[in-house]
C-alpha cells in the first residue's frame, strides 16, 4: 500500500470533520425534539419580567411535585446572559447564579420564540474541553401580576 498524498490526507480529514458535524447535528435534532415534548415553562425558556428585563428559567422546583414553588430565573442583572445551559435528552440543566422564583400562575406563554445558547459534549463524549455550543429556539413567557 502506497503513502497517502497531502491532498489525500486533507480530503480524509475534511470527510471526517463533515461526518462528525452530521453526528452532532443529529444529536442536536434528537435532543431538541425530546425537549420540545415537555409542556409548560422549562429550564432554558425565556421570560420577560414586569420590569422589562428578559432572562431565562434556570431551575424548576415543580420537578419536586411542588407546583407552588414555581420556577427560578437567572441573573436579572445580566439580562439572560447568565451561566450555561446543557441540553440533554429531553431536558435542559443550568449552571450559574440564581434569582428568585416566579410562580407558574404568574406566567403567560407568548406566541414568540427566542434563540438561546445551549451546549453538549461533542459526539456525546464526556470529557474536559469537549463542549460544543448551539443556538436553539426557546419559548417566551411573560410575567403577569395576579
- pLDDT tens sequence across 5-45: 777 777 777 887 778 889 999 999 999 999 999 999 999 99
Q: Which residues pair with 102 in a beta bridge?
A: 71
- pLDDT tens sequence across 41-92: 999 999 999 989 899 999 998 766 666 678 989 865 555 556 899 999 999 9
Q: Which residues lie closer than 8 Å to 49 by C-beta, 6 or more apart?
A: 55, 73, 76, 143
User: Residue ranges per domain, the chain?
Assistant: 6-143
Q: Which residues lie closer than 8 Å to 39 by C-beta, 6 or more apart?
A: none
Amino acid at each position: 500500500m502506497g503513502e497517502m498524498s497531502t491532498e489525500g490526507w486533507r480530503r480524509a480529514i475534511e470527510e471526517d470533520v463533515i461526518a462528525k458535524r452530521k453526528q452532532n447535528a443529529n444529536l442536536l435534532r434528537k435532543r431538541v425534539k425530546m425537549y420540545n415534548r415537555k409542556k409548560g415553562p422549562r429550564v432554558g425558556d425565556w421570560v420577560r419580567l414586569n420590569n422589562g428585563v428578559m432572562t431565562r428559567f434556570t431551575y424548576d422546583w415543580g420537578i419536586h411535585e411542588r407546583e407552588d414553588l414555581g420556577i427560578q430565573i437567572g441573573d436579572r442583572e445580566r439580562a439572560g446572559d447568565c451561566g450555561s445551559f446543557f441540553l440533554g435528552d429531553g431536558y435542559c440543566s443550568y449552571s450559574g447564579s440564581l434569582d428568585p422564583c416566579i410562580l407558574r400562575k404568574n406566567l403567560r406563554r407568548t406566541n414568540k420564540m427566542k434563540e438561546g445558547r445551549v451546549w453538549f459534549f461533542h459526539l456525546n463524549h464526556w470529557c474536559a474541553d469537549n463542549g460544543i455550543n448551539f443556538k436553539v429556539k426557546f419559548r417566551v413567557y411573560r410575567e403577569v401580576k395576579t
